[in-house]
């Protein structure tokens, strides 16, 4: 393993953690852009308004994680959300997202597909 792995695991397990699946055509690069550089020093100097630039404490405690590729995202989604079927989501839900046939359910904190007699999943 990498030299920082144990410190990273300890930090990530030290308090509450939220995991999300972000759905967007360019989700990985867009999220990585919002996070800013992994190195907090670089983030603070080069992208101070990024998440890491604003809230990062150190390179290990940099406040956020984002997959580095769609393949990594798939592995991480399977780890954190074992009940989520990515292939079925792409077949049945993603087309509705592209057509903006979704709404935000604040109570459940999730985006949902509009479902009615005229809108059937294919």
pTM (predicted TM-score): 0.76
Q: Which of 65, 92, 96, 111 is catalytic?
A: 65
Nearest to 63 by CA among 75, 72, 50: 50
Most confident of the following: 52-56, 101-105, 115-119: 52-56
Q: Active site includes 65?
A: yes
Share of the chain above pLDDT 90, in %: 54
Q: What integer is the mean pLDDT of 29-56?
A: 96
Structural domains in the chain? 5-83 (3.30.70.141), 85-122 (no CATH)
Run of H or E including 113? strand 110-113
- DSSP notation for 34-47: HH--SSHHHHHHH-
Work out the pLDDT band at 93, boundaries 50, 70, 90: confident
């Amino acid at each position: 393993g990498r030299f920082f792995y144990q410190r990273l695991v300890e930090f990530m397990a030290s308090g509450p953690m939220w995991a999300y699946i972000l759905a967007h055509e360019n989700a990985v690069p867009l999220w990585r852009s919002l996070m800013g550089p992994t190195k907090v020093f670089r983030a603070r100097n080069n992208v101070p308004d990024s998440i890491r630039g604003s809230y990062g404490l150190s390179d290990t405690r940099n406040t956020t994680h984002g997959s580095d590729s769609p393949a990594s995202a798939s592995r991480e989604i399977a780890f954190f959300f074992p009940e989520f079927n990515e292939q079925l989501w792409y077949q049945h839900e993603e087309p509705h997202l592209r057509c903006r046939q979704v709404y935000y359910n604040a109570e459940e904190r999730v985006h949902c597909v509009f479902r009615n007699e005229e809108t059937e999943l294919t």
